[in-house]
Structure 1
Amino acid sequence: MWISDVICILGWLLIGFAQKAWWLYCGRALLGCGISLLTYLVPVYISEITPKNLRGGFTALHEFVIGCSSSIAYVVGSLVNWRIFALLGLIPCLVQFFGLLFIPESPRWLIKTGHDLAFKASLSRLRGKNVDVSLEAAEIKDYTIYLEQVTQKSFLDMFQRKYLHCLIVGVGLMVFQQFGGMRGILFYTARIFESAGFPGQVGSIVAAATKITVGAVGVLLLSVYGRRPLLLVSAAGACLGALITGLSFLPHEGLLLKELCSVFFLIGVVVFIGGYELGLGSIPWIIMSEILPINIKGSAGSLSNLVSWIGSWVVTYSFDAIFEWSSAGIFFVYSCVCAAAVVFIARLVPETRGRTLEEIQVSITELEDNL
């Protein structure tokens, strides 16, 4: 995370003080590298340091803050010069860079790398001075010793049969998260609303308000109902919202029908964004950080992260052209992807609420052995 912060700081400085176009290209490239690393590393770190009863809530809160920050960034970016905006981007990077001085290393990473004393000290610091961590420490250590016997020797080892289930779940959720279309809709919100006869500013306000409100609700519900049920409801809601939005773009005649379609459009967009933010926007990162064994977490997590950002680029890059070709069709495609996500989640995604990372990984291993 320190390295990622340094990369992001360099990126913002290049953009803020850019003298030529290639400075901007280099700055954007550095920011892409830094942010993509943090996108994966932060949920993993949170999952490795938090107790099982708080893990989902903390990781969901992280995703919720990202959503709120994105909304704030859109507002600030419309008010200040782009160079000033780039320099403002340095602030969170610097806060995190220096903040990392005051937080401990992941206990699971420390025990994996043979730092036994630091492992116990880190776990005690995270749980509190008066908390007995011996049972949790023993469980983490025993599972780490087991993993040392099956240590990954190369990048391709993560494709072994015993890791196949967690790899399919991790990568599959990233595919559905991105190809469900949220990136395209958020980046082209003004364009979509203007095509439906609304001012672009209305779209930005509706999207931001829905993201923040439903994101907060998702954080509260996650620890109560668990990952899997919330994911199912989220994917089903996004499917319904995309379907309603697509229907509202179909050709229609008459003033009354036009007004009805405008109402359906608003309902569809709100349901789609709300459904997505309830679970698909954050829970895939939570589950990926939980189900991957620590010995393949680097390679399998990198693969999932790569798939996620490639999907984001494809959806963002293709949205404008497909929307121009068929305004209704693109939402029908997103609806079908979300419907497929419902089936995928129902068949393959395990519930991880209330279990330690070691318990989750043992249960997945046993499931693979029984297949």
Structure 2
Amino acid sequence: MRWRTREVFVEMSEQVFGPGRRRPTRQKALMIAAIPNIIGWLAISLAKDTTFLYIGRLLEGFGVGIISYTVPVYIAEISPRNKRGALGSVNPLSVTTGMMLAYVLGMFVSWRMLALIGTLPCTILIPGLFFIPESPRWLAKMNKMDDFEASLQVLRGSETDITSEVNDIKIAVASANKRTAIRFQELNQKKFRMPLILGIGLLVLQQLSGISAILSYAGSIFKAAVLATGITTWLLDRAGRRILLIISSAGMTLSLLVVAVIFFLKDNVPQDSDMYYILSMIAVLAIVACVITFSFGMGAIPWVIMSEILPVSIKSLAGSFATLANWLTSFGITMTANLLLSWSAGGTFVCYTLVSAFTLVFIILWVPETKGRTLEEIQWSFR
């Protein structure tokens, strides 16, 4: 039995996007996301009281939530297998660079002007989206085969033979389209269960390590994060996803453990002593090392893997759920950071260390290597 809300949504979506098109294209999804982002930044910039700030932040969260899911999915769907990792990691590299630029600009302009500047990327994004091709896999799923092949040919180059890739995508889409509507309870099927566990697990563990709290209170180390993410972009299709995740989570575990131990030691050292100063410097270096190792793998790769392993039939539903889980976890970690640190700084970092250690075990035992495989090959491997 269908829910009435589902029918209303379908009717509204058909009015907005046209009959028979229940899901917006990747470009339209990004356009939709850009609008609340622009309005949100304007609300913050022109705020007369805290109500406008809350409304603006809510709109920003809505827009960023759509973008943070749609962009990695679009990149994964248009990229050739040997470039998918590098292109996918460009997204988190851009995010990290943008955060660093925001911190730098904040030293020279007022927060209202900074919010106004925030409208510029989305204002440029909207017309820019008219010049990029639609995702071939999305077009194939919508049974627009002529447009699908034309889009893929544009992406691969006019001289490239795309016959094999076209056939693989058609087979995968035909299999997925046997059931066009996936209900939430059907996600428990074996072929969906492991991709969901891996995608959601990596994105939640990414935040449970405490990285959002660390970055919120340590803006001066973004340069190191940008450099590390840039190295990841170069290595991802050479070394592979899995080994970089292992190195990243192992490095985070060791760095967080050092910070935890130092906080416990500092409780027994006079604050005016040389030893206290030395321990403080080691703690700062360990925090920087944690951010670098996070950016080296756990920052970018979970988003890349999520966009690669989710089957096309559940990509919208499961990807949205994974993104929501990531941002809710990030919110929870950021909001509880001060409370935990006031309870015990050493104990807080022990908790973060244990999460990172579990993440390392999770990756070693369950996360597969996806380097050099087509999206269809990756998704067939879970059947």
Per-residue Cα deviation, 1:44-100 (whole angstroms, up to 9, x for no partner): 000000100001001112211110110110111232122211110111101111110
The partner residue of 1:227 within 241, 253, 260 is 241
1:147 aligns with 2:179: no
What is the deviation of 1:253? 2.4
Structure 2 residue matching 1:186: 3-state secondary structure:
helix
> Relative to structure 2, which stretch is displaced further, 151-160 or 331-340?
151-160
Corresponding position of 1:330: 348
What is the deviation of 1:256? 4.2
Q: Distance in 1 between matches of 2:106 and 2:288?
A: 24
2:136 maps to amino acid: P
Corresponding position of 2:46: 17
2:228 maps to amino acid: V
Q: Distance in 1 between matches of 2:187 and 2:140?
A: 21
The 8 Å contact of residues 75 and 84 in structure 2, kept in 1 or not, is answered as: yes
The 8 Å contact of residues 182 and 314 in structure 2, kept in 1 or not, is answered as: no
> Relative to structure 2, which stretch is displaced further, 248-257 or 10-19?
248-257
5 Å-filtered alignment, 1:209-224, equals: 209-224=223-238
Q: Distance in 1 between matches of 2:224 and 2:165?
A: 39
Corresponding position of 1:78: 107
What is the deviation of 1:288? 0.3
Q: Which 5+ residue runs of structure 2 have no aligned equivalent?
A: 1-29
Corresponding position of 1:195: none
Q: Distance in 1 between matches of 2:269 and 2:277?
A: 10
The partner residue of 1:313 within 331, 346, 350 is 331
What is the deviation of 1:16? 1.9
Q: Distance in 2 between matches of 1:214 and 1:150?
A: 42
TM-score computed with the length of structure 2 as normaliser: 0.89
Cα root mean square deviation, aligned: 1.3
Per-residue Cα deviation, 1:276-329 (whole angstroms, up to 9, x for no partner): 111111110000000000100011111101110110010000001111111111
1:267 maps to amino acid: L
5 Å-filtered alignment, 1:21-60, equals: 21-60=50-89
Q: Distance in 1 between matches of 2:278 and 2:39?
A: 50
2:186 maps to amino acid: D
Corresponding position of 1:113: 142
The 8 Å contact of residues 176 and 337 in structure 1, kept in 2 or not, is answered as: yes
The 8 Å contact of residues 200 and 322 in structure 2, kept in 1 or not, is answered as: yes
Q: Distance in 1 between matches of 2:49 and 2:276?
A: 48
Q: Distance in 2 between matches of 1:357 and 1:181?
A: 31
Corresponding position of 2:260: 246
The partner residue of 2:208 within 179, 199, 203 is 179
TM-score computed with the length of structure 1 as normaliser: 0.92
Q: Which 5+ residue runs of structure 1 have no aligned equivalent?
A: 190-203, 366-371
1:262 maps to amino acid: S
The 8 Å contact of residues 240 and 271 in structure 1, kept in 2 or not, is answered as: no
1:293 aligns with 2:311: yes
**Identity over aligned residues, as a percent?**
39
1:269 aligns with 2:283: no
Q: Distance in 2 between matches of 1:150 and 1:236?
A: 41
2:269 maps to amino acid: E
Q: Distance in 1 between matches of 2:283 and 2:255?
A: 9
Structure 1 residue matching 2:369: 3-state secondary structure:
coil
Q: Distance in 1 between matches of 2:208 and 2:194?
A: 21
Structure 1 residue matching 2:381: 3-state secondary structure:
helix
Corresponding position of 2:14: none
The 8 Å contact of residues 124 and 131 in structure 1, kept in 2 or not, is answered as: yes
> Relative to structure 2, which stretch is displaced further, 159-168 or 288-297?
159-168
Structure 1 residue matching 2:268: 3-state secondary structure:
coil
Structure 2 residue matching 1:80: 3-state secondary structure:
coil
What is the deviation of 1:136? 0.8
What is the deviation of 1:150? 4.1
The partner residue of 2:195 within 166, 179, 184 is 166
Q: Distance in 1 between matches of 2:102 and 2:36?
A: 20
Q: Distance in 2 between matches of 1:123 and 1:278?
A: 31
Structure 2 residue matching 1:210: 3-state secondary structure:
helix
Q: Distance in 2 between matches of 1:209 and 1:30?
A: 28
1:84 maps to amino acid: M
Corresponding position of 2:374: 356
Per-residue Cα deviation, 1:8-59 (whole angstroms, up to 9, x for no partner): 1111122222234322221111110000110011000000001000010011
The 8 Å contact of residues 158 and 299 in structure 1, kept in 2 or not, is answered as: no
What is the deviation of 1:260? 3.2
Per-residue Cα deviation, 1:160-200 (whole angstroms, up to 9, x for no partner): 222110000011001110101110011122xxxxxxxxxxx
The 8 Å contact of residues 182 and 313 in structure 2, kept in 1 or not, is answered as: no
